[in-house]
Structure 1
Amino acid sequence: MTEEKRKRNISEVNSLAYDDFIAIFGNVVEHCALCAAVVWGDRPFRNYGEMQSKFNEFIEQLPLSGKSGVLRLYPDLAGKLAQSNSLTSESTREHASAGLDKMTEEEREKMSKLNTKYREKFGFPFVICARENKKEAILFGLERRLNNSVEVEANTGTNEVKKICNLRLKDLVDEHSVAKL
């Protein structure tokens, strides 16, 4: 595990300089260093749960336009970025855990068509926590969620962003550590 990706205890997290905090946590919400920048200002955290809550609060408190903006930061599942190996390292691992890197041509075609319909309807990509799903469930969810309103889908999508964020945080922080304040 690289220095940047090793698990830290919460006291180490609290002692990180701003630039180091952003370098480590700037992608727990895909391409959204702003989220990490805001959360850095909430230090010191008593424990992992408090830190996790601060990330979730940032996402939750966004207006609909902000939630849509955060969703637009995510790539299409099994889309062009995945096919050209241009995903972030986190997204690459998450896609692989769901089996999206092993789709048949038929599944890839169906996913592409549904992604296009979804993006045209909502203005942002379909977001689901790939680590908690497999490709079949993702395809089913994508098809089903096309029936939602923009507001419902923005909220559903940002709930999925929080799941992704929480799992990424667990990869970086010892969730059982308690700060020595």
Structure 2
Amino acid sequence: MALLNISQINSLADDQFVSIFGNVIELCPDAAVQVKKKGPFRTVSELCEAFHKYLDDLTEEGKLSILKLHPDLAGNLTRLSELTRESAGEQRSAGLTELSDWHVNVIQSSNQRYKTKFGFPFIICARENKFQSIIEGLQHRYDNTREQEIATGINEVKKICKLRILDIAQLD
């Protein structure tokens, strides 16, 4: 699919916009519904900022809901090939679909420890990381407070969101 320019994005009907941008924040088409109302956008960067503002404006409960929508890295959904198309590509790019059973066990046990402490999955922009940095992130971030991890997780969601938008839209 050819990348859309900002004029094409602005001319999308509401349902088309949601269909195209409905998963730039994992499994959260409401973000696209709300962002579409903020248009028209002058630039793709402004579109990205609108999605980021959507995240920033959420209550803590809303942010937790967003974080909980994300799959575990190298988790059961990965092994069962039940990730969204976007998540599958991101985990593949980080090498998480090619791990040995030992590596899968390491990451899954680390994920479970993290999830037990914080109440949501560990989120990191997989396209900007590989297995080793993900494991290091899991270990390092485990010492954070819940509030720090909510903020860090949302910042990682913003990175993921921007990269997903750039898979759809050409920069101005």
User: For residue 171 of structure 2, what is the aligned residue in structure 1?
Assistant: 175
Segments of 5+ residues of structure 2 without an aligned counterpart are none
TM-score by length of 2: 0.98
How many residue pairs get matched? 172
Q: Percent identity?
A: 45
Q: Distance in 2 between matches of 1:50 and 1:110?
A: 39
- CA drift of 1:104 comes to 1.5
**Are positions 1:53 and 2:49 aligned together?**
yes
1:50 alignment partner AA: E
User: For residue 179 of structure 1, what is the aligned residue in structure 2?
Assistant: none
**Are positions 1:112 and 2:108 aligned together?**
yes
User: For residue 160 of structure 1, what is the aligned residue in structure 2?
Assistant: 156
Higher relative contact order (CA 8 A, sep 6+): 1
User: For residue 67 of structure 2, what is the aligned residue in structure 1?
Assistant: 71
CA distances 1:114-154 after superposition (whole Å, capped 9, x unpaired)? 11111111111000000000011001101111111111000
User: For residue 148 of structure 1, what is the aligned residue in structure 2?
Assistant: 144
User: For residue 23 of structure 2, what is the aligned residue in structure 1?
Assistant: 27
1:157 alignment partner AA: G
Q: Distance in 2 between matches of 1:107 and 1:154?
A: 26
- CA drift of 1:166 comes to 0.2
Contact 1:74 1:125 in 2 (8 A): yes
**Are positions 1:13 and 2:9 aligned together?**
yes
Q: Distance in 2 between matches of 1:169 and 1:22?
A: 12
CA distances 1:31-84 after superposition (whole Å, capped 9, x unpaired)? 000111100001100111111110000111212221111000000000000000
Q: Distance in 2 between matches of 1:101 and 1:137?
A: 16
Q: Could you say what the CA RMSD is over the residues aligned between the two structures, in angstroms?
A: 0.8
